[in-house]
Structure formats: C-alpha cells, structure tokens
A and B are shown apart, each in its own frame.
Chain A
Amino acid sequence: MNLETLLGINFFATENLPLLIAFLSILVLILLARIMTKKSAGKTELGDYESNSTAKPKLIIEAGRADRQYWKDLWRYRELFYFLAWRDILVRYKQTVIGILWALIRPLLTMVVFTIIFGKLAKLPSNDVPYPILVFAAMLPWQFFANALSECSNSLISNSNLVSKVYFPRLIVPASAVVVSFIDFLISSTILIALMIWYKFVPTWGMLMLPFLIMLAFAAALGGGLWFSALNIKYRDFRFIVPFVVQFGLYVSPVGFSSAIVPEQWRLLYSLNPMVGVIDGFRWAILGQNTAMYWPGFMLSIGIVLLLLISGIWHFRNTERTFADII
C-alpha cells in the first residue's frame, strides 16, 4: 500500500499538479530556512568578521576578473541589504499623517474602480466569484510587481551616492528595493483577508501554492528590475520607459478581468506576458476551482520569468563594474 492510495489522491494527475508544486515549494522553503539557521547558529554575526580578520582575507583586484568572491560577498553584506530595505520602509512614511495606511488605500481604491468599471458597467463574467475578490486576487500580485519593478529600476540612480563612493555587491540595491515592495504587498494582503471574511469565501487547498507564486512574482519583478536598473544607468531614457511599461502592463495583464475572456487560440500568446501566469495562479490559488487554470500558459510564464531573472542577473553582473564610472 503506498501513500497515493492511502490518501486517495493521485499526485500526478493534471488537476492535482498545483498541489504537487505547492508541496515541493514548501519543501524547498523549509530546506532553505534550515540551511540559513544552521549557518547563523554555527557562528555569531560578530564571529563572522572576527574569523575573517584573523585569517586576513586576501583580495585580488584585476581588470575583467569575474569576481569569484562575489556571492560570498553578497552573503557577507546581507546586513546592508537589510539596512537598505529598513531605511526605505522607514523613510517612505515619514512625515505622512496616515502613514502605513497608504499601503492599504491605493490598492483598495483601485479595486473599487475596477469592480465598478469591469464588473458593474462592462458586466464581464466572474464565474460566481464576488467581483471585488476576483479583482483583488489579481490586484495584489500586480501591484507588487508594478511597484517592485519601478522601485527596482530607479534604485541604482537614487542610490548613486552610494554606488560612486562605497563598495558593496551592487545586486543588493535592486534586491532590497523589491523587498520593500514585498512589505507593502504583505500589508495590502490583509485587505484580501478582510474581503474573504466579508463575502464568507472559503479558501481552498490551492492557497498552499501562494508562496511559490509569490516567489514567481518576486523573480519576475527582480528580473525585469535588474535589466532596467542596469540600463537606466547608461541610458536615462529608461526612466520614462518603465512607468509606461507599468501602465501599459496593467491593461494587458488580466487584472480587471479574468483571463478566461481571452479567446482560446490566443491564450498561449497571451501567456508570453509573465504576469499572466502569476496572476492566473493567484486567482486559481485563492478562488479555487471556480477558475479553470490554463496549464500550458502557466508553464510558459514560469519559463519566461526564469529566463528574465537569469538573463537579468547575467546582464547586471556584466555591466556592474562600470556603474561607478558612468553613473
């Protein structure tokens, strides 16, 4: 008797594929957490530096040297990463009266407008899901992606004083910009919880897939953001391109409507937009079986996100060493 028959679930059936993915992603998260805690438990943060100073780290600076210590440095500078994110969060709501409430008001108002326009006026189908929840389940990842992308793209320029005066792995700056938007995402997701309680909407097991989907949105924002932030240093044109991309993206992504209204033969093409997969995934995870998932498109989106992220890191690493000279 094996596990499958015991639970009465066939893990490998297509309809249970998301469950499998969710299970795997949770496993990966637990593993990562274990590794992290093990490392920091082994030696205190202070010890990290102390042990370095007794061993006298040897550093070689050379032209065109692909810095072998880069990833180690990235780990060493993790506190700076944390401090930069902390600074941006602190600064964002200084001298505002309602402070952190802004993180709630913006998505809430957008959701209201979208519900009225797409749900009430255009009367788009929602498969018996309350339209506010339909919109908000998509609004969450989209706002996260849009904010993260624009913050990330400007991050190097707005930290140019750091870039030209201190050394640290530059990857920290755009990455911490994405983290800041992630905090906003967490805050505004309380609205979704409130909405679900209000509409007495029962969550499904698909919710387990959310961490994976958030990681996907994170990767998409970081990938795009790395491209734009590096290009922005050389060509300031991207300062104007990014807001346009974000605005445009809101309409070509299924935020105000369900992607089910896209004709079947165009859906694979539509999924070339990486956020389509993420948003559909979010809807599927939160709303459950009321929305049918289009798997080929989802897989395509994942592929595109990975491509974006890997090429983004590659381009960033290649141009990084000239940042201080041209910023």
Chain B
Amino acid sequence: MSNPIIKVENLSKKYVISHQTSGRNRHGTLRDAITDGFKSVGKRFTKQSNTADPEHEDFWALNDVSFEINQGDRVGIIGRNGAGKSTLLKILSRITEPTRGRITIEGRVASLLEVGTGFHAELSGRENIFLNGAILGMSKVEIKRKFDEIVAFSEVEKFLYTPVKRYSSGMYVRLAFAVAAHLEPEILIVDEVLAVGDAQFQKKCLGKMEDVSKEGRTILFVSHNMAVVQALCDRGIFLTQGSVSNNDSISNTVNAYLTSLEQAKDDNLLHRTDRRGGGKVRVSRVTLHRAKEGSGNTESLFQVGDPVKIKIDFEGDCLGLECRFTIYEQQGQAIATFSSADRSELDSPSKQSSGFFVCDLEELLLMPGRYRINVALSGNHALQDHLEGAAFFDVEQGTVRGRPVLPNSYGYVHFPHRWSEI
C-alpha cells in the first residue's frame, strides 16, 4: 500500500448567504458597503453588535470532510445537488480556499471542471488548442509535442484555421475535450463534463479516461450517471449535505446513494432543499396514476403497457412556464425526456396558472425495473427549479398489445412490434 496521494483532513467550507429580497444581487454595491459600515459603527455605540444578522446566514457547503486517496485510485464522488461535490472539487483544484481544514496533495493536479474553459470564440481552433492547453497547465513545448495527437483525437482537422465561433457545438466540445484528454498530471479531477457531446464521442472520452487510469494516475470523477461512475471508478465517496456519508468500494457507495435517494422520498417536495434554479416556481408534488381508473389513486407500481398519467404540481407563478422531466433507470442512465416546450397539436391548450402539469402516456413501454424521475421547471428564460428523484416507480411484467414482456430481458425499453413468418 502506497502513501496517500491526497489527504483531506477536517475540511470545511462556509458560504454566507444573503437573504436580501430581490432587486439587489449578492455582489453588493459600494453604497451597501458604506451604509453597512455606518450601521456597524452605530451598533457599536448602541451596543447591539452581538445580535445575529438576520440578512446573512452561514451555509456550510462542506462540513468536516476527511478522506484519503491513494495513488492509482479512481474515485467517484457522488451525491445530490448541493451536497458539496463541486465545492470539494473547487477546493482541491485551488480555485477557492477552505474555511477550515487541510489538504495535502502530492503530485501535479489538473482539473477539468468545465469543457473548454477559456476558449475564445474569435480565435481559431489551432490558437485555442494552445490557449486552452496553457490554461490547463501545459507548457508550450508539451502542447507542440502533442498537437497532432490532439487534432486527431478531436476530428476537426479541416477546421483548424476557422474561428471556433463557427464550429458546431459538437465540434467545440470535441476539440475542448481533446486538449484536456492529453494532460498528463498525476491527479486528474473531472466534473461531469462528459454529459455533453454525442454518444460516440462520450464513449471515446471514457476510453481515454480508462487509459489514463491504467497508467497509474489518480482520477477524481463527479457524475450523476451511476453506470458511468461504476464503469470508471473503483472507489466511491458519497456526500450528503456537506459530509461524507459513505467512503467505500464503488458498488457499495452507489447502492448507499440509490437507497438514500428513495429514503428521502417525501410527498411534499417543497420540504426538499437540494434543488437548483431561480425558485420563482417550485415543484410541490409529482404523482403517477394509472390513467384507466380515472385520476384517483397515486401509484408507484405499474405493468409494462399500462397507460400512465404523470402529474406535476407546482407553486408560484412565472411567465412562459415550461415543464420538463426525465425518466432514469436505477443506475442513472437517462431513458426518456418529456418537454412541454415542444408542442404537438394533440396537446390541450395550456391554462394559465392552473398549478399543475399533466403528461399522459398511452402505454408505458419501459422494461420491468426501477425508475426515477427528475423534474425541471423553467420560465422567464431561466431554470427555476430542478429536482432529482422527484418520484420513483417500479415496472413489473405485463403485456403490450397482447405480447408478454418479461423481466429477464435486456435493455430498458420495449417497442410494440409484429413478427411475420415467411
């Protein structure tokens, strides 16, 4: 057993959240600073300085986190929104400073928190390779040496002298990842950057990351896709509300995470705090019903082929409100996405502020298994609310148009079909 390459001891990070009501953002203005300054002087005179400031609240994004990572470990960091994953990565890559605690790292770290950091739209692909490489910490000589490899990996040879603003988004991502993939650090920190790009390229990236880990490098990887995490990592760290709740082999950690997702199930989703978005509108309930029997009972167990009604209740009001939800299988692989923004003539016209969205599925064409739903509401041209694991349901064997669908088959979806014997 080698020495730990990364040693994290009692790491904590505090953010101060400002509760000022809308209108002013958190950047603050000079006027605020000046008036606050006078206020505190005034308080000192009136001796009220000990009262807690109601406008500001401390938020511990990480709370007393300790763990060790050995050379060659491939560690998956998982947890829900706001569990502190990104904060941890930011501290490890020295972008921000911890409030308390200590980290010892032995080796050169490269972190990839975003694809194409520092890409400049006006510059050509070639120029961006050099710029991005330098930003990620490569030396000019190193970039020159790997230039051909990078270009070959990115598959954009023809457009090397075109400004990247004229690239398709796929090309852009490919080029950006190609640069990052050729970093040669001892420790590679990757935040969910693989969620972009087409499937073929994603596969290529994963392959590259596997190669990297075979060379004995250490990888820290954040993802919501449990299948990818399990394929790539051998260890897992599961964060809950800023603390490590599991630090074990990857399969145990993933299981703990999946169990916790279901345990957190609360009928009133407004109680959940692990959400993202502006918050003008918030999802309050997500329920599934068997459509045949009216809208009566809430169900969580269906048979393949059942007609299903998915109802999303929300609170608040917002202009141009749109609903989008995605069904995931248990490991975090997305199966199908539904968006109210893509209209069909079969949709019934929207009623303003009815307080809910309903989506009707004529047939549930999912293979037997366990599924969960993530919901996002957007309006005012911005994400307003996003919840992971807003609802769970099981699918058991059933029949689709007279054909039995059995649990022990491969894949996640069933297509209605017909055979002919010739």
A162/B117 contact (C-beta < 8 A), A57-B107, A80-B135, A95-B122 known: yes
* CB atoms of B131 and A46 under 8 A apart: no
* CB atoms of B135 and A46 under 8 A apart: no
A62 contacts which chain B residues (CB < 8 A)? 98, 101-103
* CB atoms of B120 and A58 under 8 A apart: no
Q: Please choose the segment from B25-33, B265-273, B280-288, B347-355 that sits at the chain A interface, where 4 or more of its residues have CB less than 8 A away.
A: B25-33
Which one of A46, A83, A163 contacts B134 once the chains associate, using CB atoms below 8 Å? A83
Question: Which residues of chain A in 48-93 are interfacial with respect to chain B, using CB atoms and an 8 Å cutoff?
Answer: 48-49, 52-53, 56-64, 77, 79-80, 82-83, 86-87, 90-91
Q: How many chain B residues have a CB neighbour from A under 8 Å?
A: 49
B108 interface residue, CB < 8 Å from A? Answer: yes
Which one of B90, B98, B123, B134 contacts A324 once the chains associate, using CB atoms below 8 Å? B90
CA distance A91 to B113 in the complex (A): 25
B141 interface residue, CB < 8 Å from A? Answer: yes
Least Cβ–Cβ distance between A214 and chain B, in angstroms: 27
* CB atoms of A234 and B101 under 8 A apart: no
Chain A interface residue count: which class?
Answer: 35 or more
Interface secondary structure of A, over-half rule: helix
B134 contacts which chain A residues (CB < 8 A)? 79-80, 82-83
CA distance A91 to B136 in the complex (A): 20
CA distance A80 to B163 in the complex (A): 21
CA distance A165 to B107 in the complex (A): 20
B135 contacts which chain A residues (CB < 8 A)? 80, 83, 162, 166, 168
A45 interface residue, CB < 8 Å from B? Answer: yes
Least Cβ–Cβ distance between A324 and chain B, in angstroms: 4
Q: Among A46, A80, A91, A94, which residue has the most Cβ atoms of chain B within 10 A?
A: A80
* CB atoms of B118 and A236 under 8 A apart: no
CA distance A214 to B30 in the complex (A): 33
* CB atoms of A325 and B15 under 8 A apart: yes
* CB atoms of B122 and A45 under 8 A apart: no
Which one of B28, B92, B100, B114 contacts A63 once the chains associate, using CB atoms below 8 Å? B100
Least Cβ–Cβ distance between B107 and chain A, in angstroms: 6
Which one of A60, A91, A165 contacts B103 once the chains associate, using CB atoms below 8 Å? A60
Question: Which residues of chain B in 89-118 are interfacial with respect to chain A, using CB atoms and an 8 Å cutoff?
Answer: 90-109, 111, 113-114, 117-118
Residues on B facing A (Cβ under 8 Å): 15, 26-31, 33, 90-109, 111, 113-114, 117-118, 120, 122-123, 127, 130-131, 134-137, 139-142, 163, 186
**Between-chain CB contacts (< 8 Å), 25 pairs:** A45-B140, A46-B139, A52-B108, A53-B108, A57-B107, A57-B108, A59-B94, A59-B103, A59-B109, A61-B97, A63-B99, A63-B100, A77-B137, A80-B134, A83-B134, A91-B122, A161-B118, A165-B113, A166-B111, A166-B118, A166-B135, A168-B135, A235-B33, A321-B96, A326-B27
